[in-house]
Amino acid sequence: MEKTFVMLKPSAVTRGIIGNILTRVENRGLKIVAVKMIQLTAETAGKLYAVHHGKPFYKNLIEHVTSAPVVALVVEGEDAVKIMRKLVGNTNPKEAEPGTVRGDLAMTTTKNVIHASDSVENAQTEINIFFKPQEIMTYKRADENWIY
């Protein structure tokens, strides 16, 4: 089983579509093993998006993700990193396929409503930024034998 880090951005929280997005994650068969709502500081946002430091969109990105609370999640499942990225869709919602979170629920790249880790290695780094080991749960979904 693989774990990935997911974050519902302020554009999702303020629009009241947390449930819509979490339902998609759960319905797919992925398991939510940690969740918290937090107000990101510029420092934490800078850690999450360190690779983008200096890029033209960086300032807008940090401004957006610190503009209202976010919901941080750890999501678990077989190939969870890859499956979450596909479920999220293209970075630019205008290029994202219908059926994906961004393709169904977003219009602009800055306010693309969700973040998901892009590799297993980055997932672990990002999980560690947001969660202590004891905040990540272990449990069995009632339908697990029907998912795998």
Ligand X SMILES: Nc1ncnc2c1ncn2[C@@H]1O[C@H](COP(=O)(O)OP(=O)(O)OP(=O)(O)O)[C@@H](O)[C@H]1O
Q: For binding to ligand X (CB under 6 A), which residues are involved?
A: 52, 57, 61, 91, 109-110, 112, 115-116, 118
Least distance CB 35 / Mg ion (angstroms): 20
Let me know if 115 is a catalytic residue: yes
Q: Give the torsion through C-alpha atoms of 42, 48, 51, 57, to 10 deg.
A: -50
Residue 119 or 137 having the CB closest to ligand X: 119
Classify residue 54 as exposed, middle or buried by CB count within 10 Å of its CB (0-12, 13-18, 19+): exposed
Measured from the CB atom, the residue of 79 and 118 that comes closer to Mg ion is 118
Of the residues 52, 53, 64, 115, only one is catalytic, namely 115
The CA distance from 99 to 89, in Å, is 9
Which pair of tokens denotes residue 71?
């919901």
How many angstroms separate the CA atoms of 54 and 121, rounded?
A: 22
Near Mg ion by CB under 5 A, which window of 1-9, 57-65, 92-100, 112-120?
112-120
Stretch touching Mg ion by CB under 5 A, among 11-19, 103-111, 113-121, 132-140: 113-121
Which residues have a catalytic role annotated?
A: 115
